[in-house]
Amino acid sequence: MIQVEGLFQSFREQQVLNSMSFEVGQGEFFGIIGPNGSGKSTLLRLLSGMDPVMHGNVLLKGKQVSSYSRKELAKWLAVLQQDALPPVGFTVREVVEMGRYPFQNWLGEDMAESDGLIDAIITKLELEGLIDRTIERLSGGERQRVALAKVMAQQPSLLMLDEPTTFLDIGYQIQMMDYIRSWQQESELTVIAVLHDLNLAAQYCTRLMIVHEGRVTAIGTPAEIITSTQIAEVYGTEPIVLKHPVSEVPQILLQPGK
């Protein structure tokens, strides 16, 4: 699905990403983890085509991401950012319909009949009671569901997430990640997610990649990546790592003073 080869990126003469190479296959739920300031969000901007690549290759379906027009790229991939909604004044349904932009003609008309699709997404994400409410009247969890509905309306093959659970309480975090995993499994969607919460990352991702000081330091399954030794080396703290009693994926317990 996406290949990264020898990626270097700098900002104001400071190296941000250094010699990155990795691949993400079709249908994977691929998590990017690492300390603050390690280059995760910069990497996501390059993968999504938001920023130009200085050196190296980012290939989507075998073609340079930069070779796609904005509209072509939007038919392949969607990005769910931390604040992905317009500021005020739009209703929930209007925002979801904005996701159909890649399929509109020059008159702004959807070239495919999408009312049924929009209705199905609204039902799936339990937004029926909110469709006429303007977005400034929504809670944080409701806003994130609307943002997810908007990118679902794009019908992408690849979804990129930049810390989608930031500022959400734990109930909404699980709800959000469950919606994303359900969509991913039903449609063989490829997901690349920058995640801050290592326990959530281990629960939902099939593979994880650690980015530290602009470099890829490890790639593997959650069991291979979430180890006390590896976390201590990257994050500077010594956690206790246990198996989840139900899913058996590794989960972290923090130790004060460590």
Domain extents for the chain? 2-253
The most confident of the ranges 64-68, 73-77, 239-243 is 239-243
Helices (runs of H) and strands (runs of E) counted in the chain: 9, 12
Per-residue pLDDT tens over the stretch 118-169: 999 999 999 999 999 998 888 888 888 899 999 998 899 999 999 888 878 8
Give the right CATH number for 2-253 from 3.90.76.10, 3.40.50.300, 1.10.3720.10, 3.30.1280.10: 3.40.50.300
Q: How many CB atoms lie within 10 A of CB 226?
A: 23
pTM (predicted TM-score): 0.90
Scan for tokens 């990005």, then name that residue: 79
- Lowest-pLDDT choice from 36-45, 53-62, 102-111, 202-211: 102-111
C-alpha neighbours within 13 Å on the C-beta side of residue 6: 3
Percentage of the chain surpassing pLDDT 90?
A: 55
* Higher per-residue pLDDT: 149 or 106: 149
Scan for tokens 């990126």, then name that residue: 9
Please, what is the angle between helix 170-187 and helix 140-153, to 10°? 10
- Lowest-pLDDT choice from 38-47, 109-118, 151-160, 234-243: 109-118
pLDDT at 235: 93
DSSP symbols for 14-68: EEEEEEEEEEE-TT-EEEEE--TTSSHHHHHHHHTTSS--SEEEEEETTEEGGGS
Q: Buried b vs exposed e over 160-196: b needs ≥16 C-beta within 10 Å?
A: bbbbbbeebeeebbebbbebbbebbeeeebbbbbbbe
Q: Would you say residue 110 has pLDDT above 90?
A: no
